[in-house]
Amino acid sequence: MIDLPSDLDLQRERIHLFLVDMDSYFPQADDLGSLLNETEMNRAERFVFDVDRRRFIVARAWLRRLLASYLAISPQFVKLSYNVYGKPFAENENGLSFNLSHSGHLALFAVCRDAEIGVDIEQVKPEIATLEIAQKFFAPKEVQLLKGVPTERRSELFFDCWTQKEAYIKAKGMGLSLDLHSFAVNFQDDDPRLLFSDHHPDDVEKFTIFKLSVPHPFKAAVASSIKSGAKDRYRRLCYLEAS
């Protein structure tokens, strides 16, 4: 089963990150299904392919076990709901904020207190990383930046931009109701951040975006409203589990 402390300690202004290889839990998938509620199991059974069903079960079981550790309750008693845009939250959250993302065999979870949080992980697929797709989903400033990089680096930076934009809109909890062209992220160097946000200009100062180190060929990012200075911002990230 999932081995976590029963009472994870999360200080304010800190982000805990968990990177999970879902496929490594496949032998336990049936047992982990006991942590899910009826609605979640019904969703699991609707998947056509068994690999997708098992990954869904593992990801939801991990989420329930993780939140239960912070809330000091049984995983079955974690009550999950969704806002009007589909972002999940725990009804019995006690100031706890979380977000999750998965791509391929990896799932990424982020947890913090009293702050907005969003996370995204994507498997790099060069066939998607085209300027045509960038022009459809990225802000003009981001497309301009992408055009200026060498072709051999374009796929990597395309997904740096993609994950940072996704992390931000997930932190905002507004889904794709937030126009992807209305804001831009700086994805070219080691200081990822918002360059501008037309509808939420204060977010340039409010949100910090972190580029995460994850296994090749994946890219990942987390965005949060936790305040941090440039010198110590990376100390606010804590990987507690990587499998």
Q: Which residue, 57, 80, 112, sits at the end of a domain?
A: 112
| Local structure of residue 181 (DSSP, 8 states) | T
Q: Are residues 81 and 125 in the same domain?
A: no
Per residue in 16-72, pLDDT (tens digit) is: 999 999 999 999 999 999 999 999 999 999 999 999 999 999 999 999 999 999 998
pLDDT reported for residue 10: 83
Q: Which residue, 112, 131, 151, sits at the end of a domain?
A: 112
pLDDT reported for residue 165: 97
Q: Are residues 69 and 151 in the same domain?
A: no
Q: Are residues 124 and 106 in the same domain?
A: no
pLDDT reported for residue 174: 85
The enclosing domain of 39 has a CATH number of 3.90.470.20
Structural domain of 77: 21-112
Q: Are residues 145 and 216 in the same domain?
A: yes
Q: Across the 243 residues of the chain, what is the mean pLDDT of every consecutive 10-residue run? A: 75 88 94 94 96 97 93 90 87 87 95 93 96 96 94 94 96 89 91 91 93 93 77 53 43
Q: How far is CA 117 from CA 19, 122, 157, 238, in A?
A: 16, 17, 22, 14
Q: Are residues 31 and 60 in the same domain?
A: yes
pLDDT reported for residue 28: 94
Residue type (1 letter), 16 = H
pLDDT reported for residue 243: 39
β-bridge pairing 237-242 and 15-21: parallel
Q: Cis peptide leading into 217, omega within 30 of 0?
A: yes
Domain-embedded: residue 104? yes
**CA–CA dist 32, 5 (Å, integer):** 17
**CA–CA dist 20, 24 (Å, integer):** 9
**CA–CA dist 22, 101 (Å, integer):** 12
